[in-house]
Amino acid sequence: MEMQFRIFRHDPQVEAKPHYRSYKVKADPRDRILDCLNRIRWEQDGTLSYRMSCGHGVCGSDGMRINGVCGLACQQLVKDYEGQEVLLEPLPFFPVVKDLVVEMEGFLKRIGEQRPHLMARGDPPEKERLQDPRDRRKVDDVIRCILCACCTGACPVMTRNGDYVGPAALVWAYRYICDSRDSLYRERLKNIDFANGVWSCENFFDCTRACPKKIPVTRCINTLKREAEKLGPR
Amino acid sequence: MVFKHDVVIVGAGLAGLRAALEVTGKGDVALISKVYPTRSHSGAAQGGIAAALGNEEPDSWEWHMYDTVKGGDYLTDQNVAEILARDAPRAVYELEHMGVPFNRMNNGKIAQRAFGGHTRNFGEAAVKRACYAADRSGRVIMDTLYFEAVRKGIRIYPEFQMLDLVFRDGQAAGLIAYETATGRLHFFHCRMILLATGGYGKVFKTSSNAFASTGDGVYLPYRAGLPLEDMEFVQFHPTGIHRLGVLISEAARGEGGILRNSQGERFMERHAPTIKDLAPRDMVSRAIAMEIREGRGIGGQDYVHLDLTHLGEKKLEERLSDISSFVRIYLGVDPAREPVPIAPTCHYMMGGIPTSTEGEVLDLQGERVPGLYAAGECSCLSLHGANRLGCNSLLDLVVFGRRAGQKMAGELARLPWQEAPERPGEETARRIARLKEKGTGEKTGVLRAELQEAMTLHCSVFRTEESLQKALACIGELQERYPRVRVDHKGDRFNTDLLEALELECLLGLAEAMVHSALARRESRGAHSREDHMERDDDRFLRHTLVCRRGGRVRVDHKPVTVTRFQPRARTY
């Protein structure tokens, strides 16, 4: 089958404004959208830029907006877009480096601010720390995060408020707040208990719908809100 | 620009990260990575990390060592396997202390599960040795080490691609790196370099590897005249998703999955009567290839079925959730209801840069190359011998990544700085300019596809003198055409067109090294299966292969295997 693509193009180094370019490419219904991008770049237009690495939704490189919906190009199949023109754009709100490639530093910085590492009490024992499997299960969903930024790109609040820490940072806060081995429960909660923290979330659920790893992002954020409320007045 | 650090680590997967954590605080260490560190391919590891913790049932490091040696078809250097097996429990506890969310048993200890080739009491029966976090073990370990590195303030240069190594008086003096975001070339002036760049599965058409797995860090020392070791040994994982090569973990068969041919027959019963579907990877891949060749692929095509339907939805959801989602997404198949089309996929390279057990890179004479280190899949210790066992690679990365880091930290006081060259990167800049200047020529993708096709056809699960000669001829022809490659993208920003053209040189060079090594080994051992030399031949070939380029020619040499506790025996399971 033949697929039609319209792709966001912008090289901020040489042009003031972005433009869109159309491509036609032959594809098998089982191909990934990423396969089509590769075919375009390898066979037609080597100037097109995008990120990719593992090609099966584990590394998180190829987050982009596909027909208006944030997702991974390697997880979307051609057959689901049959008969449509596919519009590919970079993740919204992220500064564009070139074409579909966006700046990730700000996104990672906000996750880093959550201190995403274990802060356990005291010296570690000789062997492993013991952890009840029920406690371990509390982080089952969130450890699926691959830092692809699709949730943050999809969040409508981010459009209005660039200072919101964003859903991905909150997922990482949740990861350690809910880890029974960690000792910073209060401090971590306080760190997100402010207007641009957990309270910016308005329950649009777009993050949950966008997450390619099916993490219940909004539910996690709501849990954090409840836990923060339990801490008492700020 | 010139950046100056005591130690520069190339590659920010598990080996690189673990080494960096060992050096920081003792010296100035920087990580450079061609992708964002969290995109590194260690993150794709599913099944787990092996360690004889004995949490679920009795286990011992000696059994683990034995399994590693036998799994490697006795090509494994046994002193190396001993270090690995002895150090494994410490390494896993350390990861737990750093925060890795391992699955737990009811008593709170780290849960363990069975995996291919890991046995109790020297081969008696399967043992639960693999520590895991669902089927995302690599990813959670990598995230933990990455954020630990960030916390410790280790300088990371994301999307910086190494394009050349710089030596002075035989010592590593630095490296040339290309900054993908800007197109600028930089010189990293340093006293020590650790290569931790992973594998090169992209030499083949179907691979479980990432697009970034082009072996740049293996090729550059080879181009500089250093040897590569055991390059003929390529692991084809039996169960890659048909066409795509996306990995379906061995855990799927560990949980009871069965391989079936077009007649619905459980063909592994014929090929490995005792342990059937849980035979080591090299054996299962050969069996699948034979079924397909003899016309028993599904519908006469080039795949067989992995049947998981009898496991039930609950087990699939609980223990194999990522895998189940891959199958649903890419095949539109519900593994609880339909069998999964699979075929062998290039997965892991046993061969690489020869190193000591401290990660020091060794030259053809076995002498240390001052300042140059390697760890992880790009290195060859030789730990995995002729075939790696599942769950031993994550372990390799953290055990030997740490050892390389310790060694480098110890050398800081001793090793002098080498002077920087006057105009570093000049030659690299010229090479890039030549590629960009060309108006006409061939596209990288065309040559790369021809290489991948030829390697898959002539140098994969089965090989013969004739097929390898064909591969060699094809590689030679492609190397002649390579200077005519043209790049469309003339700009500076995120020029992956240019980078892929440069990576193609690596792929071609590595393919050349692999085929020459495979030609020289006229026996069948582990993953190297010569149909014209079907038997293992310990008298002539219980030795490592070394391959290097000298004066424009490829030369194959050898070095002995270290045998300590376990004398080579027939490898039956």
Contact B411, B193 (CB under 8 A): no
Q: Distance between CA B425 and CA B501 in Å, rounded? A: 18
CA angle B41, B376, B472 (to 5 degrees): 85
Using alpha carbons, select from A58, A32, A153 the residue that is nearest to residue A100. A153
Q: Which residues contact B552 (CB under 8 A, 6 or more apart)?
A: none
CA angle A180, A182, A185 (to 5 degrees): 90
Joined tokens for residue B261: 């041919």
> Which residues of chain A are within 8 Å of residue B330 when distances are taken between CB atoms?
30, 32, 56, 77
> At residue A234, does pLDDT exceed 60?
no
Is the alpha carbon torsion for B381, B382, B387, B389 positive or negative? negative
Q: Distance between CA B351 and CA B380 in Å, rounded? A: 5
Contact B221, B372 (CB under 8 A): yes
Per the DSSP assignment, residues forming a β-bridge with B30 are: B8, B155
> Which residues of chain B are within 8 Å of residue A50 when distances are taken between CB atoms?
496
- Find the DSSP H helices in chain A: 33-39, 105-112, 133-137, 150-154, 156-160, 167-177, 185-192, 206-210, 217-230
Cite the active site residues of B.
281
Please write down the long-range contacts of B295-299, taking CB distance under 8 Å and 24 or more positions apart.
B295/B262, B296/B261, B296/B262, B296/B263, B296/B265, B296/B267, B297/B261, B297/B262, B298/B261, B298/B262, B298/B341, B299/B262
CB pair distance less than 8 Å for B44 and A59: yes
CB pair distance less than 8 Å for A59 and B210: yes
- Range scoring the smallest mean pLDDT among A34-38, A127-131, B135-139, B471-475: B135-139
> Which residues of chain B are within 8 Å of residue A34 when distances are taken between CB atoms?
none
Q: CATH 3.10.20.30: which residues of chain A?
A: 2-102
Q: Distance between CA A126 and CA B97 in Å, rounded? A: 10
- Find the DSSP H helices in B108-264: 137-151, 216-223, 251-254
B interface test, pick of A32, A54, A61 with most B CB neighbours within 10 Å? A54
> Which residues of chain A are within 8 Å of residue B107 when distances are taken between CB atoms?
130
List the single residue in A43, A45, A132 with the smallest CB-CB distance to B108: A132
Determine the pLDDT at residue A211: 98
Q: Distance between CA B219 and CA B12 in Å, rounded? A: 18
- Shortest distance between the Cα of B412 and any Cα of chain A, in A, equals 28
Q: What is the DSSP letter of B100?
A: -
Q: Distance between CA A34 and CA B243 in Å, rounded? A: 15
Q: Which residues contact B362 (CB under 8 A, 6 or more apart)?
A: B227, B354, B355, B356, B368, B369
CB pair distance less than 8 Å for B497 and A47: yes
- Per-residue pLDDT tens listing for chain B (573 residues): 999 999 999 999 999 999 999 999 999 999 999 999 999 999 999 989 999 999 999 999 999 999 999 999 999 999 999 999 999 999 999 999 999 999 999 999 999 988 888 999 998 888 999 999 988 999 999 999 999 999 999 999 999 999 999 999 999 999 999 999 999 999 999 999 999 999 999 999 999 999 999 999 999 999 999 999 999 999 999 999 999 999 999 989 988 899 999 999 999 999 888 778 888 899 999 999 999 999 999 999 999 999 999 999 988 887 888 999 999 999 999 999 999 999 999 999 999 999 999 999 999 999 999 999 999 999 999 999 999 999 999 999 999 999 999 999 999 999 999 999 999 999 999 999 999 998 889 999 999 999 999 999 999 999 999 999 999 999 999 999 999 999 999 999 999 999 999 999 999 999 999 999 999 999 999 999 999 999 999 999 999 999 999 988 999 999 999 999 999 999 887
For the beta carbon of residue B135, count every other beta carbon within 10 angstroms: 24
Q: CATH 1.10.1060.10: which residues of chain A?
A: 105-229
Using alpha carbons, select from B8, B25, B9 the residue that is nearest to residue B151. B25
Q: How many CB pairs under 8 A join A and B?
A: 161
> Which residues of chain B are within 8 Å of residue A110 when distances are taken between CB atoms?
none
Of chain A residues 111-150, which have a CB less than 8 A from chain B?
112, 115-118, 120, 124, 126-133, 136, 139-140, 143-144, 146-147
> Which residues of chain B are within 8 Å of residue A43 when distances are taken between CB atoms?
443, 445
Q: Distance between CA A137 and CA A92 in Å, rounded? A: 33
In B357-414, which ranges are E strands?
360-362, 368-374, 379-380
CATH class of the structural domain A105-229? mainly alpha
Q: How confident is the model at residue A62 (pLDDT cuts 50, 70, 90)?
A: very high
Q: Which residues of B260-282 are buried (b: 16+ CB within 10 A; e: fewer)?
A: bbbeeeebbeebbeebbbbbbbb
CB pair distance less than 8 Å for B101 and A179: yes
Nearest C-alpha in B relative to A141: B134
Of chain A residues 72-91, which have a CB less than 8 A from chain B?
75, 77
Chain B contact present for A156, CB below 8 A: no
Report how many helices (DSSP H) and strands (DSSP E) chain A contains, helices first. 9, 7
Residues A165-184 pLDDT 10s: 999 999 999 999 999 999 99
Nearest C-alpha in B relative to A14: B491
Q: Distance between CA A60 and CA B39 in Å, rounded? A: 7
CB pair distance less than 8 Å for B148 and A117: yes
Determine the pLDDT at residue B407: 98
A2-102: CATH superfamily: Beta-grasp domain (3.10.20.30)
